[in-house]
Amino acid sequence: MKEIIKWSKDLETGISTFDEEHKTLIETLNEVYSLLENKESEKAKELLRNNIVEYASKHFKHEEEIMEKYNYPELENHKKIHNMFVNMIVNKMLPKIEKSDSEFRSVVSFLVGWLVMHIKNMDKKYGRWFKENNITINDEPRL
């Protein structure tokens, strides 16, 4: 399978349940990319439409629940960014993938880029905060 992104250690938040969910999201984006590369754009579209929004929303909700439970100080800002991202997928990205395969490809690159940036900048930040505050999360992954 052709991959657009590889999981690497620098994406680790230190919270295994969220790392697992991030891996699932990345795997799904790789599947979309691979289908697109194999000229199976209809299947790729279906996967993006049916799974990505749902997975991202479930995962974000899980993160937000845990942040809320432990009074993470940056919860509100983090939540805002999650919501903006989901709205952008639904309102801007999903219509775009219908236009052409090259637009579709650019959407996939954008989603991958966004996710990597978000994990590195924002998710790793809560990872450090939980660690500094000696909080251990033992939740099961939800994806």
Binding site for Fe ion (CB under 5 A): 63, 123
Of 1 and 117, the one with the shorter C-beta distance to Fe ion is 117
> In sequence order, what are the residues at sequence separation of 6 or more whose Cβ sits closer than 8 angstroms to the Cβ of residue 13?
19, 22, 119, 123, 124, 126, 127
SS3 content of the chain, % helix, strand, coil (to 5): 75, 0, 25
- In angstroms, the CA 126 to CA 13 distance is 8
Of 76 and 98, the one with the shorter C-beta distance to Fe ion is 76
Smallest separation (angstroms) from Fe ion to the CB of 118: 6
Smallest separation (angstroms) from Fe ion to the CB of 63: 5
> In sequence order, what are the residues at sequence separation of 6 or more whose Cβ sits closer than 8 angstroms to the Cβ of residue 125?
74
Of 85 and 104, the one with the shorter C-beta distance to Fe ion is 85
Of 19 and 123, the one with the shorter C-beta distance to Fe ion is 123
Smallest separation (angstroms) from Fe ion to the CB of 20: 14
Smallest separation (angstroms) from Fe ion to the CB of 60: 6
